[in-house]
Structure 1
Amino acid sequence: MTPAAPHRPGSPASPPAVLDRDATAAALDPRRLLEAVATALVAVAAATVSAPPRIAASGPHGLLGTMPAYVPGLGLAAKLVSVFDDPARPGRTAHRGVVALFDETDGRPLALVDAEPLTALRTAAAATAALLALARPDTARIAVIGTGAQADAQLTLLSTVLDAPEGSPAARRRPWPAAAAPSVTVAGRDPDRTRALAERHGVAASASIEAAVREADAVLCCTAAIEPVLTRAWLRPGAHVSSVGGSGGLEVDAATVRDATLFTEWEGAVTSPPPAGAHELQGLAPSRATLLGAVLAGTHPGRHDPHELTLFKSTGHAALDVAAARVIHDAHPRRPDPAA
């Protein structure tokens, strides 16, 4: 990552960049984001990240949460996010907020960016990193379950990896050769939304979630589910599952969790109660889960054999927000220092 321009003590500081939703999304280069998120995950596993427990203030209609973190080499940032019921989508919630990035050497605010596209893309980057680290090298088909913003972000990250030129960092992370890249299928509960999302990304649309899962070697669940969207019986031998949804309930069933080798972003996915921890992992022994960053760092083997079922359960982590904010800041043109 490009370091921030030095600031001379006593000189007027450049104002922080303020990016709206569109500008934030435009600055999130998927390939750079994937590398930055991998760096953050490795730092979490190495215990070099400073990230206090999430806190939230609750009101009668929703809550406001805050998640600060420091990641060596990436910076210091904090997310403020509100979670309220969404009247336009009964049963679902809207997540809105900002992420502030600060200079880690003198505390200057560097950027204030929209949290919604940042969160969707950094979450997709984590799920993609897990896919690349844990899926079998002979993976032939990937199923993306969901039709909302998170599924849209996931398809963007997948295309970044599948289309990455040989020799690039993203290509070097692929477990399969470029000539044998897997196909991608989208599945969801709403056929019209499923078709529209598939057409937007140039991938196939499945007739049902069950059909997509049964045919896939890797499944990426990106839903707002409160009950499982897949069952163990649908999964093929040696399948990989990345589950990033289910903040309000279960996204994968108990049998899948029981049979899978588990991977998470942080220990709190198991040890913390929801929503910080995962609904599916409550009551498990912490030793059941391996940190994904340890696999990325090469200190844990990840998948042991081709018949093993692997599950990455994401709950998010503030270190990933730092990584994404750093990518945005480095991509956004800086305003000149008035003292220069």
Structure 2
Amino acid sequence: MADPAGSGVLVLDREQTRAAAPPDAVLAAVRTALIAVGRGDVSAPPRVAAHSAHGLLGAMPGYVPRLGLSAKLVSVFGAGGADGHGAHRGIVAHFDAETGRPLAVMDAEAITAVRTAATATAAMLALARQDAARFAVIGTGTQARAQIGFIASMESAELVVGARDPGRAERLAAELSRGSATSIEAAVKTADVVFCCTSSRQPVVRRSWLADGAHLSSVGGSDGPEFDAETLRASSLFVEWPGAVTEAPPAGAWELQDTDPADAGLIGDVLDGRHPGRRSATELTLFKSTGHAALDVAAASVAYRQAREHGLGIKVNL
């Protein structure tokens, strides 16, 4: 749809981008995008990246019908922050899908965090047991915080934060006034649902820790695997797009490089009712997220609409 707002590009800083991307609206848009991916309606090439000595700069353009046209430039640098966590920094540009005119530029870290947490939440709602009540978030960085934000909106959800440094987990839980904290192993062993949100290069979740019938969501691991091979072998696997299996990192997943593509179901097909998803209460389900441009389009479309409605950002001529 052509933009009626006139000339100029809307620029949103980090806090404005966060304010313009309410979780419930992003969750709805992400569901639309995932279903579109499953139906083959999305135009989005595999992510490409330029590598420096310390990290990478990735490019992710995408078009999703009903949501729009966007592109993300994001740098992924390990242990770049003061807290030792990896960092995802960059910009998302949102365009008029009819004219190609740039409409908005916004913070990529905020967009990535909310769309990734929304995607993991959509997958969890589709795949976890209906009686799931105890949720473990593994990690203490930006992505873990975003995921906790989604869990906090769920009634009667019991949260535990797990980390390699239990003290860091305790500080996060205390800061957010939400849940308890413990080691990764203890958190996983008692959880119905596990959200793994780390920058680890080695597995931090093991099959022997996961209870039968649990659901595992892995959204980190840009530089290596977050879960062990035994977890993959024991699980029913779901992904955002076929390239999670068929493409090499950074487009595809480290954990899935030797996986038969036929063994990976699309989460969009589950949301669309074309795949049954979980088949039993004891089944171990696994959602591996690599990120996809369609999800950035979803979050950017929400942020642009909300920013215009609420007067956020500034207009500049580019």
Normalised to the residue count of structure 1, the TM-score between the two structures is 0.87
Mean alpha-carbon deviation: is it higher for 81-90 or for 122-131?
Answer: 81-90
Of residues 45, 61, 73 in structure 2, which corresponds to 1:68? 61
Instruction: Give the C-alpha shift of residue 237 in structure 1.
Output: 1.0
Which residue in 2 is equivalent to 1:269? 244
Which residue of the other structure, out of 8, 23, 26, is the alignment partner of 1:15?
A: 8
Percent identity at matched positions? 57
Shift of 1:87: 4.9
Which letter maps to 1:237? D
**CA RMSD for the aligned pairs?**
2.0
Q: Retained in 1: the 8 A contact 2:248–2:257?
A: yes
Match of 1:236 among 211, 216, 230: 211
1:103 alignment counterpart: 96
Which residue identity does 1:154 align to in structure 2? Q
The 1-side partners of 2:134 and 2:54 are apart by 42
2:229 to 217, 235, 254: 254
What is the CA distance between 1:211 and its match in structure 2? Answer: 1.1
* Alignment correspondent of 2:277: 302
> Are 2:308 and 1:330 aligned?
no
The residue number in structure 1 matching 2:164 is 189
Is the aligned partner of 1:124 residue 2:117?
A: yes
Answer yes or no: is 1:115 the counterpart of 2:108: yes
In 1, Cα distance between the equivalents of 2:66 and 2:101?
16
Query: Residues 17-62 of structure 1, C-alpha deviation per residue, up to 9 Å, x if partnerless?
Result: 1001111111111000000011100000000000012222334444
Quick one: distance in 2 between partners of 1:207 and 1:90?
19
Query: What is the CA–CA distance in structure 2 between the aligned matches of 1:19 and 1:42, rounded to whole Å?
Result: 28
Cα gap change, 1:286/1:89 in structure 2, threshold over 3 Å: closer, same or farther?
Answer: farther
Q: CA deviation at 1:191?
A: 2.5
Question: 1:6 and 2:15 equivalent?
Answer: no
The answer on 1:34 being equivalent to 2:34 is no
Deviation at 1:210, TM superposition (A): 1.0
- Hey, what does 1:156 align to over in structure 2? 149
Paired residues of 2:242 and 2:266 also in contact (CA < 8 A): yes
Query: Which is greater in Rg?
Result: 1
Structure 1 residues 87 and 331: CA distance shift in structure 2, 3 A: closer
Deviates more, 1:200-209 or 1:104-113: 200-209
The gaps in structure 1 that reach 5 residues or longer are 8-12, 164-180
Partners of 2:120 and 2:65 lie apart in 1 by 22
- Partner SS, residue 206 of structure 1: strand
Note if contact 2:246-2:261 (Cα within 8 Å) is conserved in structure 1.
yes
- 8 Å CA contact 2:221–2:254 kept in 1: the answer is yes
Q: 3-state DSSP class of the match of 2:90?
A: strand
Match of 1:177 in 2: none
Match in the other structure for 2:181: 206
8 Å Cα contact 1:218/1:239 also seen in 2: yes
How far is the alpha carbon of 1:306 from its aligned partner? 0.4
The SS at the match of 1:211 is helix
Kindly indicate whether the alpha-carbon contact (under 8 Å) linking 1:121 and 1:157 is maintained by their aligned counterparts in 2: no
Helix, strand or coil: the match of 2:164?
Answer: coil
Which residue of structure 2 aligns with residue 134 of structure 1?
127
- CA–CA distance in structure 2, aligned partners of residues 238 and 85 of structure 1: 33
Task: Give the number of aligned pairs.
Answer: 312
Decide which moves more: 278-287 or 62-71. 62-71
Distance of 1:293 and 1:87 partners within structure 2: 33
Classify 1:59/1:195 alpha carbon distance in 2 versus 1 (closer, same or farther; 3 Å): closer
Give, in angstroms, the shift of residue 4 of structure 1.
6.0
**Corresponding letter in the other structure for 1:107:** G
Tell me, which stretches of 5 or more residues in structure 2 are unaligned? none
Mapped partners of 1:284, 1:249: distance in 2? 16
